Amino acid sequence: MSTGWQEVQAEVLRRIQNREWPPGGLIPGEVALAREFGCARATVNRALQALADDGWLERRRRAGTRVALSPLRRAQMSVAVLRKEVEALGKTYGHRLLMRKVAGSLLCLQTLHEADGTPYGIEDREIDLTHIPAAGSADFTILSANEWLVQNAPFDHGNMSYMSEGATAFDARHLECEEATPLLVLYRETFSEAGRITRVRLAHAPGHVVRLQI
Amino acid sequence: MSTGWQEVQAEVLRRIQNREWPPGGLIPGEVALAREFGCARATVNRALQALADDGWLERRRRAGTRVALSPLRRAQMSVAVLRKEVEALGKTYGHRLLMRKVAGSLLCLQTLHEADGTPYGIEDREIDLTHIPAAGSADFTILSANEWLVQNAPFDHGNMSYMSEGATAFDARHLECEEATPLLVLYRETFSEAGRITRVRLAHAPGHVVRLQI
DNA sequence: AATTATTTGTGCGTATGTATC
DNA sequence: GGATACATACGCACAAATAAT
C-alpha cells in the first residue's frame, strides 16, 4: 500500500461500497488505519475528511467515524450561462432583447434565447437598479442580461426553482408553440448583502431536458 | 487575525467577493499569505484548497492561484428519498404499490407516493434482477422501492433528467388531475459496475416545485 | 454531576515531490 | 536545467467534543 491520501480514500471507499464496512457501522479509528496503511494519521485524516465531505462518512469527535446510513448521492447543477449551455449542445447561440423598460428602481427585460435560430427559451427579468446601477447603462443587445449579470453582479446567495407550467400566450408566441404546451420553467432569484439583485423567469422551449450526472 | 484555516478561508472569500482580487487575477502565494495571516503555510494551503474545491479558485503548480474567471455557483440536489422529501414538508408520507410484475429479468413496479393522503407522485420503475436479485423477494409494500434501493443497491454512477410533460391517462388517474396537465417528470437511471440497476420515471403531482439553494 | 479517556479537529514546522514557467 | 509554487507527506502537540465511568 503506497501512502497517498487518495489511495487511502480509494481503499476506504471500496470497503464502504463492498459492505465490508456496512452503513451505520463504526470504522476503525484514525490511528489504527494509519498503522494499517503504514502512513501518518494526518494522511488518514485527509482521506476520511474528504469522504465525509462527499457524504460517505459521518464523523464526530470521540464518537468515531461511521459509514453514512443513507449515502446520499448529490448531483451538481451550475447556474447556467445560457450561451454556454447552447454551445455545449454544438449549436449556435443567439439572443434578442424584446423589451426593456424601467419601472421605479426596477429594470425590466424580456429576452429571447435561440439555438441555431430556433427558440431556446424566453426570459422575463427584473434587475434592481439600486443595487446594480451599472445595469441601467449596459447594452443588453450585445451581451445578454443573463451573461452580463453573471460577470458583473456577483451574488451572495440565491435560489432556483423548476416547475412545469402550461405555455402562456406570451410564451407560446415567442417559443412558437401552442398555448398550454407543458414547459419547463425556471425561476431564480439572487441576492447580495444589500438585497435582491435580480429575479428571473425562464420558460424553456417544449421538450427541454435538464440533465444531471450523479 | 486568529489562525484557523476557516478564518483564512473566510477572509480570502471576502476579498474575492469584494473584487479586491478580481476574477482571473493572480493572488499572493501561500508563503506570502501565511506571513500576512501569521500562520503556517499548511493552514493557508488548507483554506485555498477548500476554496478551489468550491470553485472559487483555480490552482496550478508553479502557475499560482487565480480567482476563477466565472465563479460558477453550483446548486446541489440530492437523490431524493421521497419519504424524507415529504416529511421535510411537514406532511405524512404514505405509499401504495399499484403493480408488481416480472418480465424476464426485469422487475416492474408502479408506486403511488402520497403526502397527507393526497397524491404526491406516481412512480414507474424497472429493476434489473440479475444485478439486484434480492429485490425479487423484497416486500415493497412496507419500504417503498425508492427507499429500499437507496439502502440496498449502492450505485456507482447514474443520471437524472427533469422534463415537463402533459399528464398521460395513467398519470391523470392516479394524480387526480386532468389529462395533459403540465407535470414535472423525473427520469433517473443508476448503474453499478455490472450494469444498469434501475430505471425510473416519476411524475410529480401538478404544481410540484424543485427548489435549490445556490 | 463531575472526571477521565478516547477520538477527531486542527495547528505548526519541515521535507520532499512534481508540474510548469 | 533551474527556479518557483503548489501538493502532499511526516511527526508532533494541543484543543474540543463526548462517551464512559
Give the residue among A145, A144, A80 at the shortest CA–CA distance from B214. Answer: A80
Longest dimension (CA), chain A: 68
Residue B3's pLDDT is 65
Q: Which residues of A touch B23 (CB under 8 A)?
A: 151
Close Cβ partners of B117 (under 8 Å, ≥ 6 residues apart) = B92, B94
Identify whether the C-beta of residue A166 lies closer than 8 Å to the C-beta of residue A181.
yes
pLDDT digits (tens, 9 = 90+) for A129-177: 999 999 999 999 999 999 899 878 878 889 999 999 999 999 999 999 9
Flag residues of chain B having pLDDT under 70: 1-3, 70-72
- Mean pLDDT of all residues in A185-193: 93
Nine cell digits for residue A168:
402562456
CA of B6 to C1' of C7 (A): 21
- Identify the sign of the CA torsion B83, B88, B94, B95: negative
Within 13 Å, how many C-alpha atoms sit on residue A205's CB side?
Answer: 14
Nine cell digits for residue A181:
404546451
pLDDT at A72 over 70: no
pLDDT digits (tens, 9 = 90+) for A11-45: 898 888 888 888 888 999 999 999 988 889 999 99
Q: Please tell me whether residue B159 adopts helix, strand or coil conformation.
A: strand
Residue with cell 403526502: B115
Q: Cβ–Cβ contacts within 10 Å for residue A138, how many?
A: 16
Select the residue of A157, A164, A211 nearest B183 (Cβ to Cβ): A164
Q: Which residues of A touch B134 (CB under 8 A)?
A: none
Contact yes or no for B161 and A212 at CB 8 A: yes
For strand C, the positions having any atom within 7 A of a protein Cβ are 5-14, 17-21
Chain A to chain B, count of Cβ pairs less than 8 Å apart?
133
For strand D, the positions having any atom within 7 A of a protein Cβ are 3-13, 15-19
Distance CA B34, CA A208 (A): 48
Contact yes or no for B212 and A74 at CB 8 A: no
Distance CA B146, CA B97 (A): 11
> B128 versus A68: which is more confidently predicted?
B128
First-to-final CA distance of chain B: 29
- Rounded to two decimals, the pTM is 0.85
pLDDT digits (tens, 9 = 90+) for A79-123: 778 888 999 899 999 999 999 999 999 999 999 999 999 999 999
Q: Fill in the DSSP letter of residue B209.
A: E
> B24 versus A199: which is more confidently predicted?
A199
Residue B203's pLDDT is 98
Select the residue of A74, A163, A209 nearest B77 (Cβ to Cβ): A74
Question: Which residue does chain A place closest to B147, by CA atoms?
Answer: A70
Percent of chain A with pLDDT over 70: 97
Q: Fill in the DSSP letter of residue A26.
A: B
CA of B14 to C1' of C21 (A): 29
Contact yes or no for B214 and A164 at CB 8 A: no
Distance CA B13, CA A53 (A): 19
- Amino acid letter at B5? W
Residue A120's pLDDT is 97
Residue B1's pLDDT is 46
Distance CA A25, CA A20 (A): 10
Residue A124 pLDDT grade (very low, low, confident, very high; cuts 50, 70, 90): very high
Choosing among A19, A54, A146, A164, which should be mutated to test the B contact, i.e. which has the most B CBs within 10 A? A164
Helix axes A5-17, A41-53, angle to 10 degrees: 50
Q: Please tell me whether residue B3 adopts helix, strand or coil conformation.
A: coil
Question: Which residue does chain A place closest to B17, by CA atoms?
Answer: A154
Residue with minimal CA–C1' distance to D5 is: B62
- Amino acid letter at B75? A
Instruction: Please list the alpha-helical segments (H only) found in chain A.
Output: 5-17, 30-37, 41-53, 82-88, 145-152, 169-175
Give the residue among B205, B130, B190 at the shortest CA–CA distance from A75. Answer: B190
Report if CB B73 to strand C is under 7 Å.
no
Residue A1 pLDDT grade (very low, low, confident, very high; cuts 50, 70, 90): very low
Close Cβ partners of A104 (under 8 Å, ≥ 6 residues apart) = none
Q: Which residues of B touch A208 (CB under 8 A)?
A: 163-164
Q: Which residues of A touch B77 (CB under 8 A)?
A: 74-77, 212
Nine cell digits for residue A154:
456577483
- Amino acid letter at B159? N
